[in-house]
Amino acid sequence: PPSRLPGVGTTIFTVMSALATETGAVNLGQGFPDFDCDPRLTSAVTEAMQAGHNQYPPMPGIPLLRQRIAEKIGALYGRHYDWNREVTITAGATQGLLTAILCCVHPGDEVIVFEPCYDSYRPAIELAGGRVVPVCLRAPDYRIPFDALAAALSPRTRMVIVNTPHNPTGTIWHDDDMRQLARVLDGTDVVVLSDEVYEHMVYDGQLHASVARYPELAMRSFVVSSFGKTYHVTGWKVGYVAAPASLMDEFRKVHQFNVFTVNTPMQHALASYMADPAPWRDLPAFYQRKRDLFRSGLADSRFRLLPADGTYFQCVDYSAISALPENEFAMWLTREIGVAAIPVSAFYSTPQDAGIVRFCFAKQDATLQQALQRLAAL
Ligand code: PMP
Ligand code: GLN
């Protein structure tokens, strides 16, 4: 049969991780920690399994986990979701994003994405039969061009995808950005899909501008997050979606035939671990220190550091070092210098080649030091 996704190949993350393994390079490409999670969390999984939590959980997730998520969102962002009707546990944020798109987007509908954007958005929209309408963000500050957003809106616009803190650029949306978004969407029935997987990686005392803080946005939004990022367990693939009941009812119609439900022992472990707010409260300081270590290691180098307000990514402009296009530079850096990175052009539908690559600093200090020694010498 003809391909449903003819333009899609292997993701850049898989390609660069494979190259890093093959060449023995330090892998600062694909975003994942090279250190382990809190042992209390793994013990909690064993305990859940031994306590017999090994059969199907309820379709939207176990009640205690959904209750704790709703409490946490209420405490942090001030919106009180009904845990029973408005929160669903997903197989990572990726499934939450796909399911939200599949349940809303009809063939011919338009979905606005800000590029560069995370690589799963575009194929998910295409699978739903939707049309991607990119609004371009540009280096070095990648600010949201609200005029371009307003111009991109049409009667066919079904959804706008927002991602703050932003992968790959490490920028964050501010209060006035959210207010402007609310103003631009006022009077439309456009749904917002808000990818907030890096919600606890915001630095220098700044606030995470969750759409859940803004009633006029929250009423039209799916909020997506992931335990993988917050608890250093990207391989667990457990996340969640919160949305008003009218949106969540539709979400669950797709979810129950997409995955039906998400693995039980992890849900119990996460529910008990969530009783302690310290892990997410301490996360900004934990990653800010790594960001600063990485940035200070490159401060005197020929890499130009872009702002890094959130996420565990640092983008750098390498144009003082090389004139290679981003893809080739990332390959060269991996093969010849021994440090893997991700070309930012991979996050655009029309590659920009601005001479910028992304490094992930969710690594042990020793890993960062080893990479810095190699990079600072360039
Ligand atoms: N959204 C963004 C912006 C991400 O960076 C990631 C992880 N790479 C995801 C979604 C997917 O998260 P998960 O691993 O929980 O599916
Ligand atoms: N989110 C991770 C990143 O941006 C990668 C996840 C994946 O490999 N799909 O690097």
Q: Mean pLDDT, to the nearest integer, of 254-264?
A: 97
* Model confidence at 351: pLDDT above 80: no
pLDDT in tens, 123-169: 999 999 999 999 999 888 999 999 999 999 999 999 999 999 999 99
- The CA distance from 335 to 185, in Å, is 46
d(CA 56, ligand 1 centre) in Å: 25
Q: What is the pLDDT of residue 215?
A: 98
d(CA 103, ligand 1 centre) in Å: 19
Pocket residues for ligand 1 (CB within 6 Å)? 31, 92-94, 118, 163, 167, 195, 197, 226, 228, 234, 237, 239
User: What is the interface pTM, i.e. ipTM, of the complex?
Assistant: 0.97
d(CA 31, ligand 2 centre) in Å: 5
Neighbours of 183 (CB within 10 A): 12
Taking each continuous run of H as one helix and of E as one strand, the counts in the chain are 15, 13
Q: What is the pLDDT of residue 375?
A: 97
Q: Mean pLDDT, to the nearest integer, of 231-239?
A: 98
As a whole-number percent, the residues of the chain with pLDDT over 90 amount to: 97
Structure tokens at 148: 């371009």
pLDDT in tens, 75-104: 999 999 999 999 999 999 999 999 999 999
| Domains of the chain, CATH where assigned | 12-37+279-376 (3.90.1150.10), 39-273 (3.40.640.10)
* Model confidence at 239: pLDDT above 80: yes
Q: How confident is the model at residue 367 (pLDDT cuts 50, 70, 90)?
A: very high
- Name the closest ligand to CA 197: 1
Q: How confident is the model at residue 352 (pLDDT cuts 50, 70, 90)?
A: confident
Nearest to 99 by CA among 253, 237, 238, 234: 253
d(CA 197, ligand 1 centre) in Å: 6
Q: How confident is the model at residue 350 (pLDDT cuts 50, 70, 90)?
A: confident
Hey, what amino acid is at 252?
R
Q: What is the pLDDT of residue 18?
A: 96
Phi and psi for 93 in degrees, rounded to 5? -65, -30
Q: Where are the alpha helices (DSSP H) in the chain?
A: 12-23, 39-50, 63-77, 83-86, 92-104, 121-127, 146-152, 175-185, 215-218, 227-230, 245-258, 264-273, 278-298, 326-332, 365-376
Q: What is the pLDDT of residue 177?
A: 98
Residue 30 Cβ inside 6 Å of ligand 2? The answer reads: yes
313-317, strands of its sheet edge to edge:
304-305, 313-317, 356-360, 342-343
pLDDT in tens, 304-334: 999 999 999 999 999 999 999 999 999 999 9
Under 8 Å between Cβ of 110 and 88: no
DSSP string, 121-162: HHHHHHHTT-EEEEEE--TTT----HHHHHHH--TTEEEEEE
Q: What is the pLDDT of residue 7?
A: 87
- Name the closest ligand to CA 97: 1
Q: Mean pLDDT, to the nearest integer, of 363-372?
A: 98
Q: Mean pLDDT, to the nearest integer, of 293-312?
A: 97
- Name the closest ligand to CA 341: 2
b/e burial code for range 80-113 (CB count within 10 A of at least 16 → b): ebebebbbbbbbbbbbbbbbbbbbbbeeebbbbb
Residue 120 Cβ inside 6 Å of ligand 2? The answer reads: no
Q: Is the pTM of this model over 0.95?
A: yes
Q: Mean pLDDT, to the nearest integer, of 270-297?
A: 98
Q: Mean pLDDT, to the nearest integer, of 232-242?
A: 98
Q: Mean pLDDT, to the nearest integer, of 6-28?
A: 94
* Model confidence at 247: pLDDT above 80: yes
* Model confidence at 230: pLDDT above 80: yes
Atom 8 (ligand 2) nearest CA: 13
Q: What is the pLDDT of residue 276?
A: 98
Q: How confident is the model at residue 21 (pLDDT cuts 50, 70, 90)?
A: very high
Q: Mean of the per-residue pLDDT values for the chain? A: 97
